[in-house]
Amino acid sequence: MTTTRRSSGARSRSPVALVLALLAACLLLPSSAEAQSLMNAGGLGLLSDPLDARSRALGSVGIGLEGWYMLGTDPSAAAGLNLPSVTGTFQPSSSRVDGGARAGGTRFPMLGVSYPFGRHVFVVQFGSFLDQEWEVRTERTLNISGQEVDAVDRFESVGGIGQARLGWATRVSEDLAIGLNVGSYTGAMERRFVRQLDPDVVGSGVEPFLNQGRWRASGLTVAAGATWQPSSVVRVAASLEQAGDLTLDPVAPTPGPEKSYPMPMTLRAGGTVTLASDLRFSTGLSRADWSGVDEALGGDAARGVAWGYGAGIEWVGSTILGRTAPIRLGYRHQDLPFHFQGNPATETAFSAGLSANLADTETMPVARIEYSLERGSRDAAAFSEEYWRSTLSIRLAGG
């Protein structure tokens, strides 16, 4: 991230090289290619949780899974990462709206790096938050100096808002871990309006009309959490994230003042129960109050409390080429924070996935690849959008 036994030093050199290569590749890749959903146009965008493939496959809200891992939504979950590690996630998707319209794109929702120091683990993470990529085209006929001219109007939004986090986690005891992260909103949003007149009527020398603006995101967040394992078969976790105002600052020459939007306090709780030696059940719940954002947007743009919940089953008895390859099934429901065409929106998905350990030490995997596939829908009154979303995560660790 061989069934032949080697020294621990020999095992770690290859994963470390892969760690550096993956980190460099992820930093060079763009965050998004095109609109993944038409619902991106609602409010401040489409909520994009920074989850990895394992969380997606299990229908998780991002907390309380078995083992140790990096997720910004679960600050204490990194406490047991006793080797330097990196996690990167790649996520293509495609959607189809009733009536045949299609959208699709690729994003990189999560990148994390951890480093242990004594009994403490320090983490740097970059994750997605609000996706704002969308485009709408309208054909119309204009009257220009008494002559009718066909025109194509194109409204575009490019960019998105993410979060950069610095975190710390530690194991207070064998059965209790705590964690904390602080972060800042990152990214920018650009809006464009382009009008193209029919060149057969106005001539090829008439340039399209363009009006655009760009805004940069800023603001602070803080999250704290704890993981408790009271027995060998039960693991529970909870986190509380308090987000400050999301501020959008106009970038010159864009006119106008900066605008601030109150972000919600989000509570997450979840856990995993071992049902048998090779079978686990996980579930989770989240709550976020977006009513303050609704007021800032002028009312009737966002819902009040948005709930999310999900559950999944993980069977760890399967193998690929002699190595453990867990199989996962899950379901997730999420209230989307912003209305679409004046109606509250929800997202539901069924998911499946698997993973494979490519290399490991006596105590933990040092190279793991994970994959999930989701079949879901987003609904707002009569509007319905179905989608396929695949997620690929690579986890690597080394000395």
Each residue's pLDDT tens digit, 236-289: 999 999 988 999 999 988 888 899 999 999 999 999 999 999 999 999 999 999
- pLDDT for 293 equals 86
Distance between CA atoms of residues 383 and 193, nearest Å: 25
Per-position b or e across 278-302, b if 16+ CB within 10 A of its CB: eebebbbbbbbbbebbbebbeeebb
Distance between CA atoms of residues 337 and 131, nearest Å: 12
Per-position b or e across 9-47, b if 16+ CB within 10 A of its CB: eebbebbbebbeebeeebeeeebbeebbbbbbbbbbbbb
Q: Is 156 exposed, middle or buried (0-12, 13-18, 19+ CB in 10 A)?
A: middle
Distance between CA atoms of residues 380 and 265, nearest Å: 24
Instruction: Please say if the pLDDT value at position 44 is more than 60.
Output: yes
Smallest CA-to-CA distance from 398 within 11, 2, 4 is with 11
- What integer is the mean pLDDT of 184-204? 86
Helix, strand, coil shares, percent, the chain, to 5 = 10, 60, 25
Paired residues of 330 in beta bridges: 312, 351
Q: How far is CA 282 from the centre of its chain?
A: 20
- pLDDT for 57 equals 97
What is each CA distance from 281 to 174, 228, 277, 290, 387, in whole angstroms? Answer: 22, 16, 12, 30, 26
- pLDDT for 98 equals 62
- pLDDT for 103 equals 64
**Residue bearing tokens 């002028």:** 298
Question: Among 12-21, 120-129, 142-151, 242-251, which is the least confidently predicted range?
Answer: 12-21
- pLDDT for 335 equals 96
Q: Kindly report the average pLDDT of the chain as a whole number.
A: 85
Instruction: Please say if the pLDDT value at position 20 is more than 60.
Output: no
Per-residue confidence at 92, pLDDT binned at 50, 70, 90?
confident
Question: Which has more pLDDT, 297 or 334?
Answer: 334
**Residue bearing tokens 């496959």:** 57
Q: What is the DSSP letter of 302?
A: B
What is each CA distance from 222 to 74, 102, 138, 184, 244, in whole angstroms? Answer: 12, 37, 42, 9, 8
Q: Would you say 254 and 275 are in contact if contact means Cβ atoms under 8 Å apart?
A: no
CATH number of 8-397: 2.40.160
**CA dihedral for 148, 152, 155, 159, sign (positive or negative):** negative
Distance between CA atoms of residues 175 and 229, nearest Å: 5
Distance between CA atoms of residues 78 and 64, nearest Å: 12
Q: Would you say 350 and 339 are in contact if contact means Cβ atoms under 8 Å apart?
A: no
Q: Would you say 131 and 63 are in contact if contact means Cβ atoms under 8 Å apart?
A: no
Smallest CA-to-CA distance from 152 within 174, 136, 168 is with 136
pTM score: 0.83
Q: Is 224 exposed, middle or buried (0-12, 13-18, 19+ CB in 10 A)?
A: middle
- Helix, coil or strand: residue 14: helix
Distance between CA atoms of residues 398 and 9, nearest Å: 9
Both structure tokens of 127:
């994750």
Question: Which has more pLDDT, 142 or 399?
Answer: 142
Please report, for the chain, the start and end positions of each structural domain, with discontinuous segments joined by +: 8-397
Distance between CA atoms of residues 368 and 264, nearest Å: 34
- pLDDT for 11 equals 37
Residues ≥6 apart with Cβ < 8 Å to 132 = 40, 44, 45, 46, 157, 158, 159, 160, 161, 189
Distance between CA atoms of residues 59 and 75, nearest Å: 19
Both structure tokens of 184:
């800042």
What is each CA distance from 219 to 74, 163, 216, 294, in whole angstroms? Answer: 20, 9, 10, 18
Instruction: Please say if the pLDDT value at position 225 is more than 70.
Output: yes
- pLDDT for 222 equals 97
- What integer is the mean pLDDT of 354-378? 83
Instruction: Please say if the pLDDT value at position 323 is more than 70.
Output: yes
Per-residue confidence at 159, pLDDT binned at 50, 70, 90?
confident
- pLDDT for 15 equals 41
What is each CA distance from 386 to 37, 41, 181, 221, in whole angstroms? Answer: 9, 16, 34, 32
Instruction: Please say if the pLDDT value at position 19 is more than 70.
Output: no
Q: Is 388 exposed, middle or buried (0-12, 13-18, 19+ CB in 10 A)?
A: middle
